[in-house]
Amino acid sequence: MRKIDIFDTTLRDGEQSAGINLNTQEKLEIAKQLEKFGVTIMEAGFPASSPGDFEAVNKIAKTVKNSIVTGLARSMQSDIDTSWEALKVAEQPHLHVFLATSPIHMEYKLKKSPEEVIEIAVEAVKYARKFFPLVQFSAEDAFRSDREFLTRVVGEVIKAGATTVNIPDTVGYATPAEYGALFKHLKENAPGADKVKLSAHCHNDLGMAVANSIAAIENGAEQVEGTINGIGERAGNASLEEIAVALHIRNDYYKTDTGINLRETKRTSHLVSQLTGVVIQPNKAVVGRNAFAHESGIHQDGMLKNPETYEIITPELIGAKVEPLALGKHSGRHAFKDRAETMGFQLTDEQLNAAFKSFKALADRKKEVTEDDLFVLFTGQQIKDTDAPVYKLISTQVEYRNNEPNATIVAETPDGEETTVTSTGNGSVEAIFNTLEKLVQGQVHIMDYRVTSIGKGRDALGEAVINLSYNDERITGRDVAQDVLQASAKAYINAINRQLMKAELRKRAEQQ
């Protein structure tokens, strides 16, 4: 059995997706779930990019013990120094340093000669090894690099002390045969390649990221990189859950072990989707809601006779088998706490009390409180991050006067004053958004907005996700409520508050 290390970059490369912005608490919750999922290494962020990223990487490094925590750095001493300050508290400090090696990147982006690139890469790795026992070097756009030049770069950074060398298909251009052949070539020709890990990092621009990653494993890669649900820039990254399940189901062929706890797959996927606001397509492999649905009569007949006729992956394998819900409006606090722990949540007494209060209110209005409802309630308590003056929504009301919607919002402003604002619009949602824009007194532009149901039925919770720019800075907000208009208002306020908290964090960093 070959051990394949799983390198998760959901919190770094995944968060670079358009419209995704996670705060520190949200990143920490995802990191703790990735640890339960069993990833070998998690890339917690890019510490030198912003005070928020530095804080998140530092907190994750302090918290996570069973996965290696790393951060990204350019091949610059200042980036490496900042990363060390963020990561030196980790159980096994690890740094991921990168530099482009393809002709187009060297000429137009770096404006450096090949010799200069090798010199910069070597010096960066040597400097990083003064601090970090584990250093990964990534040759950005490796697949489009000259093969012999890339072989030389790999050999030189290994000699300089790199413990892992990553060979990214940065723009998703490779085919499986070509990408696998590149790993075979480097294994056989790069000096020292047999003494370090070679890592695969694939983007999905042509829809081949997972296939390319597995081709790399077949040709000697000991590590594979990707994100949960395949999120990432442009068409995204390789989906780690798909790779892990594929290697498990076809273990007879690949004979590998990833150390992934597959029963945490659905929960991990669900959490990332909820906190990023990126919906999982229904027919997505492994975690899509239709992954185990059988509509065809022939398929249904086969499933009834023997599930293996059409089901190579069982729902139980990925933790998708939901136990019957025994909680209702008469359930007590003890049963509620027990269900939270069964679902993997560790809530403080204060969080549990707040979640229980929300549960009771929901149970009074809904016929059935589903597992998905509880997941949202519990997660909502864990990710609260209000260490800054923010807006607090008190009430939302929409009424029609002469067929024109009028919205009235009562809210508490960041300075603690209660205020009432009204406005109109061409529809109920627009009226609410116009009213809220008057409340926050800034330039707001709505970039994207959607409402989806959590669970089934007419009494299902509605989740609103809104992507907007506030004073020229883009931010995403989300929230839930049974009333979709209320959910929309709460999501708008959530976006504004997230921006206020980011500004507060930057202000504190400048004052230090």
- Spell out the per-residue pLDDT of the chain, length 512, in tens: 899 999 999 999 999 888 888 989 899 999 999 999 999 999 999 999 999 899 999 999 999 999 999 999 999 999 999 999 999 999 999 999 999 999 999 999 999 999 999 999 999 999 999 999 999 999 999 999 999 999 999 999 999 999 999 999 999 999 999 999 999 999 999 999 999 999 999 999 999 999 999 999 999 999 999 999 999 999 999 999 999 999 999 999 999 999 999 999 999 999 999 899 898 998 999 999 888 765 455 454 555 566 667 688 998 999 986 554 446 666 777 878 887 877 777 778 888 888 888 888 777 776 667 777 777 777 776 556 555 678 999 999 999 988 899 999 999 999 999 999 999 999 999 999 999 999 998 889 999 999 988 877 777 888 899 999 998 888 888 888 889 999 999 999 999 988 888 787 777 767 76
User: Which fold does the domain 2-276 belong to in CATH?
Assistant: TIM Barrel (3.20.20)
Q: What pLDDT is attached to residue 300?
A: 47
* Residue showing tokens 């204060």: 350
Greatest distance between any 2 Cα atoms in the chain = 79
Query: What six digits make up the tokens of 268?
Result: 């991990």
User: Do 485 and 29 contact (CB within 8 A), yes or no?
Assistant: no
Cβ neighbour number for residue 375 with a 10 Å cutoff: 19
- In 3-state terms, what secondary structure has residue 99? strand
Could you state, in order of their start, the residue ranges of all structural domains in the chain? 2-276, 333-382, 392-511
Query: What six digits make up the tokens of 163?
Result: 């413990």
Query: What six digits make up the tokens of 299?
Result: 């398929």
Query: What six digits make up the tokens of 419?
Result: 């205020």
Q: What is the Cα–Cα distance from 83 to 85, expressed in whole angstroms?
A: 5
Report residue 323: phi and psi, to 5°: -75, 150
Q: What is the Cα–Cα distance from 267 to 230, expressed in whole angstroms?
A: 15
- In 3-state terms, what secondary structure has residue 213? helix
For the chain, the distance separating the N- and C-terminal CA atoms, rounded to the nearest angstrom, is: 50
User: Do 70 and 94 contact (CB within 8 A), yes or no?
Assistant: yes
Mention the CATH class of domain 392-511. Answer: alpha beta
Q: What pLDDT is attached to residue 383?
A: 56
CA separation, residue 85 to residues 8, 50, 67, 71, 472 (Å): 21, 14, 19, 11, 31
Q: What is the Cα–Cα distance from 487 to 403, expressed in whole angstroms?
A: 23
Q: What pLDDT is attached to residue 428?
A: 96
Q: What is the Cα–Cα distance from 186 to 349, expressed in whole angstroms?
A: 54
* Residue showing tokens 């990707």: 226
Q: Is the four-CA dihedral 17, 21, 26, 28 of positive or negative sign?
A: positive
Instruction: List, in sequence order, every residue forming a beta bridge with 445; answer none if it has no partner.
Output: 469
How far is Cα of residue 227 from the mean position of the Cα atoms in its chain? 7
Helix (H) or strand (E) segment spanning residue 480: strand 473-481
Q: Is 326 exposed, middle or buried (0-12, 13-18, 19+ CB in 10 A)?
A: exposed
User: Do 221 and 200 contact (CB within 8 A), yes or no?
Assistant: yes
User: Do 440 and 471 contact (CB within 8 A), yes or no?
Assistant: no
Amino acid (1-letter code) at residue 363: A
Residue 45 Rama label (left phi>0; alpha psi -120 to 50; beta) = left
CA separation, residue 182 to residues 7, 172, 187, 444 (Å): 20, 14, 9, 48
